[in-house]
Amino acid sequence: MIRFGIAGFGLHAAKRLAPGFELATNCRVTALSRREISRARQSAEQHNIPLAFDSVEQLCQSSEVDAVFVASPNALHLPNVLTAIRCGKAVLCEKPMGMNAGECQQMVEAARKAKVLLGVAQVFRFEESTAWLRNQLAAGKIGKAVFARSEFSFAAGPEHRRTWIRDMSVAGGGPMADVGVHCIDALRFVLQDEVVRVSALGISDEDSGEVEAAAALLLELSRGTLGAVMASFRAEYRTPLEVVGDRGMLRGDNALSVDHPVRLELRRGGTAVEVHTVSNASSYARQVDAFAAAVEGKAAFPAPGEEGWRNQLVLDAAYRSIRSGHIEHVSS
């Protein structure tokens, strides 16, 4: 049984991570940290977690912690991950892994040097829906992938509890960094291909602060598939994903949702020839159990730190494209 400490026990940890750990079979949470000790103790009591700290350093040094889940705001990912690595703890970092690709590179290289396991929490790699889409495509059910599309939107106005997501110095970007990275990773995972060029547009409004309120990306992948990603803090919640091939189409209207059953279709000639309904409710549990198995040396983790680094290279190119107005190459 792998014992996790959660560094940065905020809204996401309470809403998604803690329930996921409750469903997990090979790991549990033994410690958490928050900036204020009173709030840390309150969260620990609420979620039946034994230890509470107001320091990530103390959490990482605890003998009751085998692995650290970094769930702090984005600007703290690098120092928190490096602290965990320095303390010899396996570390799973929330997405986006860093503020830029340079930070991700530092994390990956530090983990390699210390021989410490580093993963990125791209939870949608652990969904039933993305697994089905990936397997259908790999089996040739729709032929060659021509187009692929992934979207993620939700309403995040001034009243949103994660106030820092509008602060560029803390978030590193708006919805493109926050949830667009999920779309980028989902397309890379389902297509089993890499993005080589990006063209992007972003729009802002009076409530978006320094970051974009919505963004659209056009992606060119190495085998010729064209991808589209749209992310927004202003539209209603939606997470569609589809891949159009030369012999059919795969789609899920809310393919990335973890809250409701997902209807998946294989379509040909405008007709659904296969329909599957799956649940992604256990995705967070599957993610931490998979990381626990990797810590124990039983299996490789499906989302190593290198994948977070690769996603950030695409994000960096997208933000360069917004600023330049040109197509930007993804660094290798």
- CA distance linking residue 284 with residue 18, whole number of Å: 9
Calculate what percentage of the chain has a pLDDT beyond 90. 93
Comparing 143-157, 161-175, 295-309, the range with the smallest average pLDDT is 161-175
- The arithmetic mean of pLDDT across residues 160-173, rounded, is 85
Interior angle at CA 289, CA 19 and CA 5, nearest 5:
65
Q: Which two tokens stand for residue 55?
A: 């320091």
Q: What's the pLDDT at 128? A: 98
pLDDT-based confidence at 99, cuts 50/70/90?
Answer: very high
- Please state the rounded mean pLDDT for residues 238-246: 97
pLDDT band at 159 (very low <50, low <70, confident <90, very high): low
- Global model pTM greater than 0.85: yes
pLDDT digits (tens, 9 = 90+) for 276-294: 999 999 999 999 999 999 9
Tell me: pLDDT of 110 over 80: yes
pLDDT tens profile 176-220: 999 999 999 999 999 999 999 999 999 998 888 889 999 999 999
Judged against a pLDDT cut of 70, whether residue 150 lies above it is answered with yes
Angle made by CA atoms 121, 50, 25, in degrees to the nearest 5? 50
Residue with tokens 């103790």: 41
Q: Is the pLDDT of residue 158 over 70?
A: no
Are 62 and 39 within 8 A, CB to CB?
no
**HSE, side-chain direction, 13 A CA sphere, residue 273:** 12
pLDDT of residue 213: 94
- Which residues, listed in sequence order, are joined to residue 149 by a DSSP beta bridge? 228, 242
3 state SS for the chain:
CEEEEEECCCHHHHHHHHHHHHHCCCEEEEEEECCCHHHHHHHHHHCCCCEEECCHHHHHHCCCCCEEEECCCHHHHHHHHHHHHHCCCEEEEECCCCCCHHHHHHHHHHHHHHCCCEEEECHHHHCHHHHHHHHHHHCCCCCCEEEEEEEEECCCCCCCCCHHHHCHHHHCCCHHHHHHHHHHHHHHHHHCCCEEEEEEEEECCCCCCCCCCEEEEEEEECCCCEEEEEEECCCCCECCEEEEECCEEEEECCCCCCCCCEEEEEEECCEEEEEEEECCCCHHHHHHHHHHHHHCCCCCCCCEHHHHHHHHHHHHHHHHHHHHCCCEECCC
Average pLDDT taken over every residue of the chain: 96
Report in angstroms the alpha-carbon separations of 195 from 32, 102, 185, 187, 251.
36, 18, 10, 9, 21
Q: What is the pLDDT of residues 2-23, one digit of tens each?
A: 999 999 999 999 999 999 999 9
pLDDT at 208: 82
Task: List domains and CATH numbers for the chain.
Answer: 2-121+285-302 (3.40.50.720), 127-280 (3.30.360.10)
Q: Determine the pLDDT at residue 303.
A: 98
Whether the per-residue pLDDT at 81 is higher than 80: the answer is yes
